[in-house]
Amino acid sequence: MRVETFNPDKDYGTPASVSETLVTIEVDGVEVTVPDGTSVMRAAAQADINIPKLCATDSLESFGSCRLCAVQIEGHRGYPASCTTTVYDGMKVTTQNEKLGKLRRNVMELYISDHPLDCLTCPANGNCELQDMAGDVGLREVRYGYSGENHLDSEKDESNPYFSFDPSKCIVCSRCVRACEETQGTFALTIDGRGFDSKVSAGQNEAFMDSECVSCGACVQACPTSTLMEKSIIDMGQPEHSVITTCAYCGVGCSFKAEMKGDKVVNMVPYKGGDANHGHSCVKGRFAFGYATHKDRIKSPMIRNAINEPWQEVSWEEAYAFAAEKLKGIQAKYGRDSVGGITSSRCTNEEAYLVQKLVRTAFGNNNTDTCARVCHSPTGYGLKVTMGESAGTQNFDSVMKSDVIVVIGANPTDAHPVFGSMMRRRLREGAELIVADPRHIDLLKSPHLKKAQHLALKPGTNVALINAIAHVVVTEGLEDQAFVEKRCDMDSYNAWREFIKQDRHSPESVEAVTGVAAEAIRRAAITYAKAENGAIYYGLGVTEHSQGSTMVMGIANLAMATGNIGREGVGVNPLRGQNNVQGSCDMGSFPHELPGYQHVSNAEARAHFEQVWGVPIDDEPGLRIPNMFDSAIAGSFKALYVQGEDIAQSDPGTQHVETALRALECLIVQDLFLNETAKFAHVLLPGSSFLEKNGTFTNAERRINRVRKVMPAVAGKEDWEITMDLSNALGYPMHYNHPSEIMDEIASLTPTFTGVNYQRLDELGSIQWPCNDDNPVGMPTMHVDDFPIGKGRFSVTEYVATDEKTNSRFPLLLTTGRILSQYNVGAQTRRTNNQVWHDEDRLDLHPHDAEVRGIKEDDWVGITSRAGQTVLRARITDKVLPGVVYTTFHHPGSGANVITTDSSDWATNCPEYKVTAVQVERVSQPSEWQQNFRSFEALQLKLLQGKTQTQTEAEAK
C-alpha cells in the first residue's frame, strides 16, 4: 500500500485533494491509498505510474480536453479521462494495454499533423511535453501527412520583452488560459474561435503587451510546448542545472529554481515546493534578474577624500584600511557615538546581523537602524505592545480559509503580486472583500469578485476609521466576549472599551473626518465582526502615517475584540514591503533592540550577548535614521556605514537628507551600483546580489527561506564577508567560514531562533519562527493558546489629526506608492526590461482637479509642498479621489521625496509618506532641485570614471 507523498519536482497531473477521508484503489495491480476526491491520474502518479497527459498539470484543475490520459476502469464502459475521473474505494484501473496505446497514438497523430517538425532547432528541445508524449505513446508515423490545413504560418507575437508567443506550436490545450485564470487570476487570455479555428488569444485578439497580461509567467510555465517560451532560453538554450533559492524582491519571499548554464542564469522558475508561493511568480521575480549582470555593477572597491574628487579604484585591503582609519579618527575626535550603521532589508539575515553586531562591537554604540524605519517600524511597535510579538500572525495559506478579507492601505496585486493572486483565488471562491484605501486598488476589480466594499477614506484618517469600526463592534454587541475574557488583559480591555464606545467615535461623528459614509462604516464593521473567519491585511498605507503605530494597535484591538486571532483564516497580517523587512527587524537592526527584539536596557539579555561578543554593550538606545540626519547637520554625527540601502532616494525630505550626507566626514556605501547615496560617499564597497551569496531571508509570514549562491560574486566578495573584513580592520575580530556559522550564532542568542540552522532549513524547506524546543518545526499560526506577553493588551487609540493639513496654498493631498513592474527605489528593476512598463514616475490626479487647473494628460506639472517642489508628467485618472494626487518613487530624478516632509509616526519616526499637502500647476521646466540633480549626477558619473571635477567642467564647456 502506498500513501500520498509530495515531490515538488514531479507533476502529479491534478491538484491534491484536501479530504481527510482515505480511499484505496488498484492501479495496474498496485494498491494506492489517497484522499477522497483525488483524480485517477494523481493516484496513479503516487504509485509512480505516469499516465500520458498534455492538458493536465498539477497546478491547474483538471480539464479533460486532450484525451491522452484515457484509462480503463473495471466495471465501466469506454475510456474515461484519468484527470477528470476521481477515485472511489475498490476502483481497479488499467493504464496501459494495446487498446489504450492505440487510442493515445491516434490522439498524438492528430496533434503532430498540425505541428512544426523542427524539434532539433526548437528552443523547447529536451524540455517539451509534446515531444515526451510522442515518445511515450510510441508515435512512429503521421498517416494524415502535413499538407492539409494547418496553423504553421501563424504569426509570432514578440511584443513581450521576456517571452514569445508562437501560435504555430500551440496545441490549444488551454493550460495557459487556465493558468492566467486559476493561478494568476488576471483572466487576460482566452480561447478565441471554435473547432479547428480555436486559438489562444491575449485580450481581444491583442498583442500580449497591449492586453491585460501582467507578465507573471504562469502561462509560460504551464505551456507544454514552446508556444510560450522565455526569450532567455531562446537565446541561451536549455539550462543544465538548477539551484533552489529565494527571490530578493517583495516580502512574499517566493522560492525559485535558478536554472543555470554554468555560472549564467538562464531562467528563474517559480518552485512548486516553495511554501510561500507554491510555484507561482510575478514579473519581477520571474524575469527581472538581469540587473545582477548589468554593466553598471561596481566591480572594485573605491575611495576618495571628498565627494568632488574622482573615485580611485583600490584593493579590498586598501579600502578597508582607508575606511577603518577614517572611522577610528572620527571616533577619537568626536566621540564614540559620532558614527553609526544602516542595515538593509534587501540583504540577508546574516548580513543584517553582522552590520548591527559591527556597530555594537567595533563602533561600541547602538547607532544601528534599518530601512524598516521608513516602512514597517510601526508594525514592530504596535504588534509588540498589543500582542507581544513584532510579527504577523498567520501564514499566507491562511487566507484560503478567510470568509471576510479586510485590506487596509495595501495594494497586494501590485506590491505583493503572488499573494495577491492567492487572495483573488479566495475571493473567487466567495470570500467578501473590504478595502479601506483612498485609491480604487486593482483588487476591487478582481474578475468574479462576488462581494466587495470600498471605504475610500481621506488620507491621514485611518485611526478615525478603525475607531469607528470598533465603536460599531462594541455598541452593537458584536464582540467575542469569550475570547476577550479568556485571552485578554481585562484592565486594558475595559479602559479601551470605555474609550471606544464614546459617541465621538461613532461612524456618524467621524463621517466628515474620514469622508466615508457612516452607513458604509457600519456595514463594514458588521461584516467583519460577524464573519466566521475575518482576516486583516495591511501595508504601508497603515504604517507610513503620523499615527502609523496607533493604527496598527487599532487593528490589533479590533482583531482581539472580535476573536479573530489564533486560528487559520483570521489574524493581523502586515504585508512587508521588501524581501527581508521582517528579518532585518528580527536581527536587531533597530537602535533600541538586540536580535530577537530584546531591549538594550535588559541586563540579562545584554549579558548574554556580551559573553558571546566579548565586549560591553551600551544600555541606551542609539540614533534612528532621521536622528542620525539631524545629528549630522548639527555636527555631532560624522560617519555612516550603509549596506544595501539608498537613503538619498528613499527617505523623505531629500534636501534635508542630502545636507546631512554632505555633512558627513566619512560615508561608506556597500551596494551593487553607484546609487544616489553613493554619490555622497567616500568609500564604495561593491556588494553582491542575491544570486551571488548564501544566507536566509525572512518573509512577511515569518518564514525563513534559504538564499543559495548560484554564481560567483561579481566583485569577489559576499556582503557578509565585507562586513566581517571591515570589522577586522577596525580591530574587532570576526571570523566566519560560511553564513551558516552566523546563523548558528544568531540561534544561540535569539530565543525565537534557537531551533534554526541550515541543516534543518534544508530538511524542512523553510521554517516560520518561533522555532525552538517548544516549536521544533516552527509556528505557522501565532497566538493559538496565548500571547508571548500572556494576555493580549488593548491600547487606547486616540485619533490625532496629522499636522500635514491642506489649506488654500496646498489644497491637495499627495500620497505615494509603488507599481507592479518596479521595485522600491528601482535600482534593480530600472536595470531590466521592466522599464518598458514604467520608465517614468507620473502624477495621478482626478479629472476634476485637472480640469480646474487646466491640466491635460501628459502635461508637465509642478508639485509643490511645504518641503519643496518637483516636476512630473500628469496622468488623469479616476483611480484617485478628488483632492488626492498620487505618485511613485521608482526613479531618482522624479524627486518624489523632495516634496515629502519630515512629518513622521509619533512612536517610531516612520515617515508620513502617505500624506503631504501639495499644490499642482502646469509648468514648463524641471524644478530647481531636478536641474541640480542632473548636473550632480553627471558630475558623479564622470568622477566614477576617474575624471576630476575640472576635467568634467572643461568637457561640459
Partner 1 sequence: MSHNQLDSLIRMVNQIAANNGAYQTEEAAQRVASHIQRFWARSMKTLIMDYYHEGGEDLSPIARLAVAQLAQPKEAIS
Q: Where do contacts with partner 1 occur on this chain (CB under 8 A)? A: 337, 366-367, 499, 546-547, 550, 591-592, 599, 601-605, 620-624, 626-627, 630-631, 633-636, 796, 798, 800, 902, 906-909
Query: How long, in residues, is the chain?
Result: 957
Q: Tell the smallest beta-carbon distance from residue 5 to partner 1 (Å).
A: 46
Query: Of the two residues 320 and 363, which places its CB atom closer to partner 1 in the complex?
Result: 363
Q: Tell the smallest beta-carbon distance from residue 343 to partner 1 (Å).
A: 17
**Gap between the Cα atoms of 503 and 492, Å rounded:** 20
What single DSSP character describes residue 180?
I
What single DSSP character describes residue 578?
B
The number of helix segments (H) and strand segments (E) in the chain equals 31, 34
**Gap between the Cα atoms of 244 and 267, Å rounded:** 12
Query: Of the two residues 315 and 659, which places its CB atom closer to partner 1 in the complex?
Result: 659
Query: Of the two residues 786 and 798, which places its CB atom closer to partner 1 in the complex?
Result: 798
User: CA separation (Å) from 168 to 115, 150, 171, 188, 216?
Assistant: 7, 8, 9, 20, 23
Query: Of the two residues 688 and 802, which places its CB atom closer to partner 1 in the complex?
Result: 802
Q: Which helix (H) or strand (E) holds 312?
A: strand 312-313
Q: Tell the smallest beta-carbon distance from residue 377 to partner 1 (Å).
A: 10
Query: Of the two residues 476 and 619, which places its CB atom closer to partner 1 in the complex?
Result: 619
Query: Of the two residues 190 and 909, which places its CB atom closer to partner 1 in the complex?
Result: 909
DSSP characters over 442-477: GGGG-TT--EEEEE-PPTT-HHHHHHHHHHHHHHTT
Q: Tell the smallest beta-carbon distance from residue 364 to partner 1 (Å).
A: 13
**Gap between the Cα atoms of 543 and 550, Å rounded:** 9
**Gap between the Cα atoms of 801 and 465, Å rounded:** 12
Q: Tell the smallest beta-carbon distance from residue 384 to partner 1 (Å).
A: 11
Q: What is the CA radius of gyration of the chain?
A: 29
Contact 11/58 with Cβ under 8 angstroms? yes
Q: Tell the smallest beta-carbon distance from residue 798 to partner 1 (Å).
A: 4
Q: Tell the smallest beta-carbon distance from residue 624 to partner 1 (Å).
A: 8
- List helix spans (H) across 237-348: 283-287, 316-334
Query: Of the two residues 490 and 801, which places its CB atom closer to partner 1 in the complex?
Result: 801
Query: Of the two residues 592 and 760, which places its CB atom closer to partner 1 in the complex?
Result: 592
Query: Of the two residues 553 and 560, which places its CB atom closer to partner 1 in the complex?
Result: 553
Query: Of the two residues 368 and 806, which places its CB atom closer to partner 1 in the complex?
Result: 368
Q: Tell the smallest beta-carbon distance from residue 746 to partner 1 (Å).
A: 20
Q: Tell the smallest beta-carbon distance from residue 31 to partner 1 (Å).
A: 58
Q: Tell the smallest beta-carbon distance from residue 597 to partner 1 (Å).
A: 11
Query: Of the two residues 350 and 489, which places its CB atom closer to partner 1 in the complex?
Result: 489
Q: At what angle do helices 719-730 and 349-358 cross, to 10 degrees?
A: 10
Query: Residues 675, 679, 681, 682: what is their CA dihedral angle, to the nearest 10 degrees?
Result: 120
Q: Tell the smallest beta-carbon distance from residue 578 to partner 1 (Å).
A: 23
Query: Of the two residues 17 and 627, which places its CB atom closer to partner 1 in the complex?
Result: 627
Of the candidates 93, 97, 98, 69, the one whose C-alpha atom is nearest the C-alpha of residue 81 is: 69
**Gap between the Cα atoms of 320 and 433, Å rounded:** 53
Site of grid cell 524547506: 765
E-assigned strands of 98-185? 163-165
**What is the biggest distance separating any 2 CA atoms in the chain, rounded to whole angstroms?**
92
Complete edge-to-edge strand list for the sheet that includes strand 695-698: 695-698, 703-707, 766-768
Please, which residues bridge with residue 191 across strands?
200
Q: Tell the smallest beta-carbon distance from residue 634 to partner 1 (Å).
A: 3
